[in-house]
Amino acid sequence: MPKTIKYLANWRSLYDEYPNKDLVTAAEFRLILKVFHNLLCNAIFEGKVFKFPFAAGVLGLIKRQQKRKQVDYTSFNDTQSVHEYRNHHSEGYTVKSLWIRNNPPLFLKRTFKFKLQRQKARQLAQLIKHEGYIYKYREENENYFN
């Protein structure tokens, strides 16, 4: 089995591979990426689905029921009895990012990876907890392309 090369692209390596460097400076390129990332995350947080060009797939958020009960260990350390997280604000659902890749071209498989930044993940958690955004996301078993 051949080894796969783990390639982590940051904005600088993307700029180094960008063919039109004479049109855009590195600072402008980074600003474009930041603005696009903010627009993409805000659209996904609203429950919209983003379709990538070049048949690279579809990206969005889904909600799913927790299969295991999660234990609140801080209360266990205090009371020595098991308490479970209730998640009344989301009715037991958790949110997961889902990227459905529809056989993208070979050069795109290692180029794209989506992971929420720490700040955006916390923003999503606050939206779910305080503003009830959990109802905007599709169930795990629903048709994702509609």
Please give the pLDDT value at position 28: 93
Is residue 141 scored above 90 in pLDDT?
no
Contact 57, 101 (CB under 8 A): yes
Please give the pLDDT value at position 116: 79
The full set of domain ranges for the chain reads 11-67+93-139
Question: In angstroms, rounded to a whole number, what is the distance separating the alpha carbons of residues 125 and 130?
Answer: 9
Band (pLDDT 50/70/90 cuts) for residue 139 is: confident
pLDDT in tens, 14-65: 888 888 888 999 999 999 988 988 898 888 888 888 887 776 778 888 887 7
Residue 65, helix vs strand vs coil: strand
b/e map 128-142, b = 16+ CB within 10 Å: beeeebbebbbeeee
Residue 99, helix vs strand vs coil: strand
pLDDT in tens, 56-92: 778 888 887 777 666 667 777 778 777 766 666 666 7
Is residue 128 scored above 80 in pLDDT?
yes
Range in 22-26, 63-67, 101-105, 130-134 with the lowest mean pLDDT: 101-105
**Which position has the higher pLDDT, 118 or 100?**
118
Burial class (CB in 10 A: 0-12, 13-18, 19+), 61: buried
**Which position has the higher pLDDT, 1 or 39?**
39
Please give the pLDDT value at position 106: 55
